[in-house]
Amino acid sequence: MAQVRLQEAFRAEIGPVAQGVVERALAAEVTELLGREPYARRRSATPERTAGVCSRCQQGWTTRLWRAGSYERTLLTVPAAVQVRVPRVGCICGGTVRVEFALLAPYERSWGDVQAWARELSGLCLSLADTREVVTQVSGRSVARSTLNGWIHQAAELAETVRGGALTRVPPVVMLDGVWITLVEPTGEVATDAQGRQRARTRRRKVVLLVAYGVDPASGEHWVLDWERAPAEDEASWGRLLERLRQRGLRTDAGLTLLVHDGSSGLDAALDTVHLGPGLLRQRCVFHVLRNIRDAVRGEPGMDRVAKRARRRAVLEDASQIWTATDRADVQRRRQAFRTTWQDREPEAVATLERSFSATLGYLDALAWARERGDVWQPRFLRATSLLERLNRAIRQKARQAGAFHSDQGLAAAFALIITHRHRLPDQPADDFWAEVLEARLCSA
């Protein structure tokens, strides 16, 4: 109760301040439109055409227009909902002039900060119901879910600006991966519901977002380059994304050095078709390889669940040590040690490692290339798609919260809002990478 009373007191104090600021700004816009200060006579203004036009005589000369009082409008802001007096402008013929305020759009009932805040909450994966509750609690006024949804969908335009035009910066490392979501789409059929209303039939379909994530391995900066909504992670879908990136400037002669991916057969085929330049290195994601090794651990006859979990943990810890080295000879020694330790007890896990091992060494060539240029690259940005996996987790969280996306616009808006909260420098120490890799053991059966 004390907190509620404090919020009410805060709104009571801040409301008049916000009201005064808004009203003075609106009055200043009217002064600029009319070309004269309040209480100055019409004929004292310089005769000029204004942006406002009378609804009756269709004229807009400054000498014909005058201040015609005001009307009240409730304006929702983050601190409080306030009543503001919006100035009216009339004409000497008796008509009214519609004023296009820069500060306040026609029929707008909410401040830009409220809309931006609602979009930020959505980007943090809050549901519409939770966002509505938070906005209502802080501002003191309820907002319809449809209104919130409209504000959020405005971010779809931001998504398209990210994907358009030439790349302003070509990252040395690009991570590629896909994340599956559910999309509701119309079937083209119409059905009659129990109340006799005509309803368009829809169906739920699984689609995949193919994401390209740029990384600067020297500074740790990371950002989304592009994405593609596709029916599957096949060669054609990956090819469309890679070709668009190539046309936008993603090539080795512009600075691209390494691609990190999960070993998708469709992506491998697309990379053989779309040429991003000579000397491009490829790195199989170590995290995905470790996950496959974990799944290949069989244990021994008679082992209970706890013992099998301990075996998976031991195999994972030994396997993960292979790629902590940055010297090729050291990596080979650790590989041999793993093979010697587990060949007899876990042959399938060892075989899984051997099948993918050569594809996981691209990071060594990338480090050597950087050293030749005098650059210092952090290995943790070269070995796995870990940074992109964090973004994918946020997308999956948003997909679970939404249940399903009901339009491409809603999907694009959600994606744009999520990535605006993921473009920041990583704050983890380098050693935490392997803690993240080993979290796979928590998923073991």
In what side-by-side order are the strands of the sheet with 96-97? 65-76, 81-91, 96-97
Q: What is the pLDDT of residue 8?
A: 60
Report yes or no on whether pTM surpasses 0.85.
no
Q: For 374-399, what is each residue's pLDDT tens digit?
A: 999 999 999 999 888 888 888 888 88
**Do residues 222 and 89 share a domain?**
no
| Residue with token string 């896990």 | 349
In a domain, 130, yes or no: no
Q: How many CB atoms lie within 10 A of CB 37?
A: 9
**Do residues 246 and 317 share a domain?**
yes
Q: How long, in residues, is the chain?
A: 445
pLDDT band at 158; cut points 50, 70, 90: confident
- Of the ranges 29-43, 239-253, 387-401, 409-423, which one carries the lowest mean pLDDT score? 409-423
**Do residues 337 and 242 share a domain?**
yes
**Do residues 90 and 6 share a domain?**
yes
- Overall number of domains in the chain: 2
Domain boundary among 79, 94, 109: 109
Domain boundary among 76, 109, 142: 109
Query: Which two tokens mark 20?
Result: 């005064």
**What is the DSSP code string of 20-46?**
HHHHHHHHHHHHHHHTS-TT--GGGS-
In a domain, 141, yes or no: no
Q: How many CB atoms lie within 10 A of CB 321?
A: 15
**Do residues 378 and 276 share a domain?**
yes
Range of 119-123, 127-131, 152-156, 212-216 with top mean pLDDT: 212-216
**d(Cα 276, Cα 254) in Å, to the nearest integer?**
10
**Do residues 196 and 292 share a domain?**
yes
Q: What is the pLDDT of residue 76?
A: 66
Q: What is the pLDDT of residue 426?
A: 38
In this model, does residue 430 exceed pLDDT 50? no
Q: For 112-145, what is each residue's pLDDT tens digit?
A: 567 777 787 887 778 888 888 877 776 667 778 8
Range of the domain at 86: 2-109
The SS3 call for residue 444 is coil
**% of the chain exceeding 90 in pLDDT:** 39
Mean pLDDT of 45-60: 87
In a domain, 90, yes or no: yes
Domain boundary among 45, 76, 109: 109
**d(Cα 318, Cα 312) in Å, to the nearest integer?**
10
In a domain, 281, yes or no: yes
Contacts of 298 (CB under 8 A, 6+ apart): 346, 348, 349
**Do residues 228 and 345 share a domain?**
yes
In this model, does residue 335 exceed pLDDT 80? yes
**Do residues 175 and 276 share a domain?**
yes
**Do residues 165 and 77 share a domain?**
no
Q: Report the first-to-last Cα separation within the chain, whole angstroms.
A: 47
In a domain, 329, yes or no: yes
DSSP code for 405: B
Q: What is the pLDDT of residue 2?
A: 55
In a domain, 377, yes or no: yes
Of 220, 279, 271, 290, residue with least CA distance to 254: 279
Q: What is the pLDDT of residue 278?
A: 93
**Do residues 262 and 379 share a domain?**
yes
**Do residues 217 and 95 share a domain?**
no
Rg from Cα positions in the chain: 30
| Residue with token string 């015609």 | 68
In this model, does residue 432 exceed pLDDT 50? no
Q: What is the pLDDT of residue 82?
A: 72
Average of per-residue pLDDT values in the chain: 84
CB 111 within 8 A of CB 87: no
Packed helices 112-123 and 128-139: angle between N→C axes, nearest 10 degrees: 140
Q: How many CB atoms lie within 10 A of CB 207?
A: 18
| Residue with token string 């014909």 | 64
In this model, does residue 434 exceed pLDDT 70? no
| Residue with token string 């809002």 | 417
Q: What is the pLDDT of residue 431?
A: 40
In a domain, 325, yes or no: yes
| Residue with token string 């002039």 | 97
In this model, does residue 6 exceed pLDDT 90? no
**Do residues 104 and 164 share a domain?**
no
pLDDT band at 162; cut points 50, 70, 90: confident
Q: For 78-109, what is each residue's pLDDT tens digit?
A: 666 677 888 999 998 989 898 888 777 776 66
Going from the C-alpha of 43 to that of each of 26, 46, 47, 207, 319, the distances in angstroms are: 23, 8, 8, 66, 86
In a domain, 143, yes or no: no
The SS3 call for residue 253 is helix
**d(Cα 6, Cα 10) in Å, to the nearest integer?**
6
Query: Which two tokens mark 293?
Result: 């090794």
